[in-house]
Structure 1
Amino acid sequence: MDLSNSTHSRWWKDPGLRKLNLLLSACYLGAIANGYTSSLISNLIANQKWFADLEGLSNINLLGLVVAAQPIGCIAAFFPAPWLSDTFGRRAGMMFGNICMTIAFIGQTFSHDFGQFLATRCLAGFGTIFNIIASSALLTELAHPRQRAISGALFNTFYFIGSMVAAWTSYGALHFSGSWSWRLPVTAQLVWTAVQLPLIFFCPESPRWLASHGKPEKAQLVLATYHANENLHDELVIFEQTQLSLTIGSEHQNHRASWSALCTTSGNRKRLTLSVVIGVATQWCGNGVITFYLAPVLRTVGVTSSFKQQGINGGLQIYNWFLACGAALLAERAGRRRLFLTSAGTMLVFMTLVTVCSVLFSTFQSVAAGYAVIVFLFLFLGGYVIGLTPIPILYINEIWPSHLRAKGSSVFWVSQAAATCFNQYVNPIALEKILWKYYLVYVGVLIAVVGFIFSYVPETKGLSLEEIGRIFDTRQTSETELDAVELQRNYEQHIVDP
């Protein structure tokens, strides 16, 4: 049986979907802000005036601590971020995160010593996790069913919009004399919060959150407004409302929304394992060395000019964004598992080649080997962004049921932050002490990641959120739920135009 829907098959020709996608851009702004803030530090490392103004940064241990400050703040938000999002709504989480980030960015701009910059960067990380947990959940729960996969996969690709702007803003600011050569790109972080905050007020609340908090009528109105051009009797809207009622009723009956629920069933334990391992893998596969310490890596192969380093970094971000967007558009066609495996396998090949060429440069001072390292770094990060940029956020939000989605997402983000924190503190020390030998660690990690994905990660391509739940949960599904799942499958495969 097919479900009719009062929308045009091409979203840009439909007023309701145009408005929905415009408002959902507020969610993407959270990813852009995260990309700018996270990658800004690698640009500041190439600016010697930053080191001169903030006393103490020349100490390699303190530099590692500053770089790791943002993920430290993310870890601190582990419990409060999902609690706020679940208790007061996804929009409340986004607003609180923006307020914290705004205060932090202003503080960073006027920092005059190491301690001030460290504290404000921690606060920025704290606010970021509130923002991205709520943003990614709202995007998954509010997007039109036929756009959910691509919308979710595109979320983290906007990280590169932020990192791209950070790179080129920092490059341009190098032409300024004095402190504004680094204070200008730090101040520019405020652009994202200034744009996102007003958009949040116009963005509707998640219908799943509304239904779970005793507001089914408001949930139905949101679904009708944005998924069916205000047609309350649309078949898709009725179906979605029925699904929400079944899901929310099951959640309330079983009282499984506490933190302990993440490990009380075999299905949730598998979800938890996937959330932790994928979160760690996104940062322990070698990308952190390049993303946050590109300038020192380039210096090891003879590229010492700040302008050349910033130019290479800016080009790298553009290249990454195009590849990540292309992969996101293939999320439903190629499948999450295939993109994961392709990504990890490609990184393994090029990390091995980076290591070999770094040895040649170190031993023979070969200029050709040095430039080959740069080429292979581009190809390595290309492998990273086709799988480990667009897919994890979509995948983690898909595999967790709605009542545990914010908590499961928090586990993923904090696992990623903990891995980032460790790497960012250790990387500069390891690069200084053992140089290219450090890359061998990541070759070993990538071999383990390929094995884990191949043996443990299930495919979710072409499935509704309810069908994905059945992959993990062994409980018997009611006949009504099975009918709903079949209707959803038919709708997503055979969209009927009005």
Structure 2
Amino acid sequence: MVKRHSQGKRDEVSPTLAAVLHSNELPWYKKAHLRNLNLLLFSIMLYASANGYDGSMMNGLQALTPWQEFMNHPTGPWLGFINSVTNLGSLTVLFPAAWTVQKFGRKSGIYIANLSLIIGVVLQTAAHNPTTFIMGRFFIGVTNQWLSISTGLLITETAYPSHRGILTALYSCGWYPGALLAAWTTYGTRNYTSSWGWRIPSVLQLLIPAIALPGFLLSPESPRYYVSIGKVDKAKEVLSKYHTGGKDDELLAIELEEIVATLALEKQVKESVGWRDLFSTRGTKHRFYITVTLGIFHNWCGNGVVAFYLTTVLNKAGITSVTNQTLINGFLQIWNLIWAVGAAFSVDLLGRRKLFLLSTVIMLVSYIFVTAFSGSFAETGSKSIGIAVVPFLFIFYAGYDIAFTPLFMAYAAEIWPYNLRARGLSLLYLIGQTSTFLNVFANPIALDAIAWKYYIIYIVILILGLLNIYLYYPETKAYTLEEIAVIFDGKDAATPTRNQILERSGQSKSASAVAAGADEE
């Protein structure tokens, strides 16, 4: 077996990089350059809180009497539109966002997102009528799209090699600090009789992004973006400063050569890249299929009912107290955060595929119980049966958090090569936002019409999703971003061999020997 090294287990990174990650080095938290990089990337992760805050806040607001009165007690299609208008906002900027971050860098989209967030929060907080409130939510959706594409790419392409899996998985966990803040804020304002009961939660949507802003301003641009525009010296500067602490060593040479050689091969294979290239070869068709199914299943696995309509679900189960509903929402977000973060730290240990499969099985079993107890309550009116729904809602979310929180963006981002990565993520969010809009819009209508029977649809979807993951989702752990192409493209992958990388980087034969030894093991 390969020995443990300081940045993680060698079997959790590719043999090429494992060859130059020495076992006698200090752990990352004792290295100033890696502490600095991870702190900056952690700041960027916090931007994911904007989306999480919105979903949890809307759950809480629906339980508040002042908000219900301000919005004229929305139900059915109107309530669905209020919750789903953020997805419309996201869809309007999806293609411009992909083009912008590819042309002007990953950080450019985050600058635009900050401006959009301020506009959305001001409109939402200062709203004097439902139309203005909805306009604010539209701009929040615009913000979410810019952040989803920009931050995901920046973290994926800038992280230290053996930290990438965990850091990209942790990014989506940033959803829950926002959700947590929103849930407990609405709990704290539940007894307000004025409009400040919902205006205070609205304005606090700026809090976590404001905390993240200094770290973002100090963070580096993606070294892969620099290489793509011919600024190899800038890329080397970033890698040297944040990955090797200023040392011009084997790791720096190999990392840089792998990026330069791979992007050169991608350009050689395809000089000009368009949207059709997302499904132009067998490998890209496989990626395309995974991206589309992941975007759909992420939002149609039953979470949409709980995420935006927890109040309705609890009402159907006989739990109608405003205090109890907001309290359950608050504890649910703490629960989510714990499970999501724990799963994020397991992605390189257990692998992506195992987490996806385990997640889906847990969601399926728990949803069967939620459906059964909700149906029994509807027939008998027994309060104890209604309360039994609550623990299975928590179990369902534990399952969801194991894979679909940490891996939604991370898995999609790493399976696409650099020249298609921004478009691949855009495709993911196009499918995701469209399916979310349809799901969130349809949920209150279906819940009003057929109540608990609606849950049966999600049981069927979960069964189909489990089969789909088993058949088509490959394992990607222990590969660098550039090497993952081999999984999908085989011998046609635009990826230099390990020996070519070592030779071009001018490194010693010892590194090549270690890499070869790792292959044999």
Scaled to the shorter chain, the TM-score interval is over 0.9
> SS at the partner of 1:467?
coil
Unaligned runs of 5+ in 2: 1-15, 503-510
> SS at the partner of 1:126?
helix
Check conservation: 2:482, 2:495, Cα contact below 8 A. Answer: no
Deviations 1:293-334 (A, max 9, x none): 001110111111111100001001101111111111111111
Is 314-323 or 113-122 further displaced after alignment?
A: 113-122
Matched, 1:261 2:277: yes
What's the CA shift for 1:405?
Answer: 1.0
Q: Which amino acid aligns with 2:265?
A: S
What's the CA shift for 1:444?
Answer: 0.5
Deviations 1:63-112 (A, max 9, x none): 11010011111111220111111111111111111111111111100112
Residue of 205, 220, 237 corresponding to 2:252: 237
Cα distance in 1 for partners of 2:242, 2:281 equals 35
Match of 2:10 in 1: none
Matched, 1:214 2:244: no
Check conservation: 2:169, 2:347, Cα contact below 8 A. Answer: yes
CA 1:201–1:478: 2 relative to 1, 3 Å: closer
Check conservation: 1:7, 1:228, Cα contact below 8 A. Answer: no
Deviations 1:370-419 (A, max 9, x none): 11111111111111111111122211111001121111111112211111
What's the CA shift for 1:176?
Answer: 3.0
Deviations 1:227-274 (A, max 9, x none): 01111x211111111011111212222225321211111111111111
Matched, 1:292 2:303: no
Q: Which amino acid aligns with 1:34?
A: N
> SS at the partner of 1:293?
helix
What's the CA shift for 1:125?
Answer: 0.5
Is 287-296 or 260-269 further displaced after alignment?
A: 260-269
Match of 2:7 in 1: none
Match of 2:38 in 1: 21
Is 268-277 or 248-257 further displaced after alignment?
A: 248-257
Match of 2:134 in 1: 118
After TM superposition, the structure 1 = structure 2 runs for residues 179-328 of structure 1, keeping only pairs within 5 Å, are 179-231=195-247, 233-253=248-268, 254-328=270-344
RMSD (Å) for aligned C-alpha atoms: 2.1
CA 1:123–1:216: 2 relative to 1, 3 Å: same
Q: Which amino acid aligns with 2:139?
A: L
Check conservation: 2:223, 2:234, Cα contact below 8 A. Answer: yes
Q: Which amino acid aligns with 2:186?
A: S
> SS at the partner of 1:413?
helix
Cα distance in 2 for partners of 1:143, 1:79 equals 25
Matched residue count: 492
Deviations 1:115-147 (A, max 9, x none): 111122111111211112110111011000011
> SS at the partner of 1:79?
helix
> SS at the partner of 1:86?
helix
Residue of 180, 185, 197 corresponding to 1:169: 185
Cα distance in 2 for partners of 1:478, 1:69 equals 40
Matched, 1:98 2:145: no
CA 1:489–1:320: 2 relative to 1, 3 Å: farther
Q: Which amino acid aligns with 1:451?
A: L
After TM superposition, the structure 1 = structure 2 runs for residues 310-389 of structure 1, keeping only pairs within 5 Å, are 310-389=326-405
Task: State TM-score, norm by structure 2.
Answer: 0.90
Check conservation: 1:105, 1:189, Cα contact below 8 A. Answer: yes
Check conservation: 2:100, 2:109, Cα contact below 8 A. Answer: yes
Match of 2:144 in 1: 128
Check conservation: 1:4, 1:234, Cα contact below 8 A. Answer: no
What's the CA shift for 1:491?
Answer: 7.4
Residue of 63, 72, 92 corresponding to 1:46: 63
Match of 1:10 in 2: 27
Check conservation: 2:360, 2:399, Cα contact below 8 A. Answer: yes
Unaligned runs of 5+ in 1: none
Residue of 464, 467, 472 corresponding to 1:451: 467
Deviations 1:39-71 (A, max 9, x none): 22111111121121234x524321110100111
CA 1:429–1:480: 2 relative to 1, 3 Å: closer
**After TM superposition, which residue ranges in structure 1, 4 or more long, deviate above 3 angstroms?**
4-9, 474-480, 484-494
> SS at the partner of 1:466?
coil
Matched, 1:439 2:455: yes
What's the CA shift for 1:290?
Answer: 0.7
Q: Which amino acid aligns with 2:253?
A: I
Cα distance in 2 for partners of 1:437, 1:479 equals 50
**Aligned residues with identical type, % of pairs:** 38
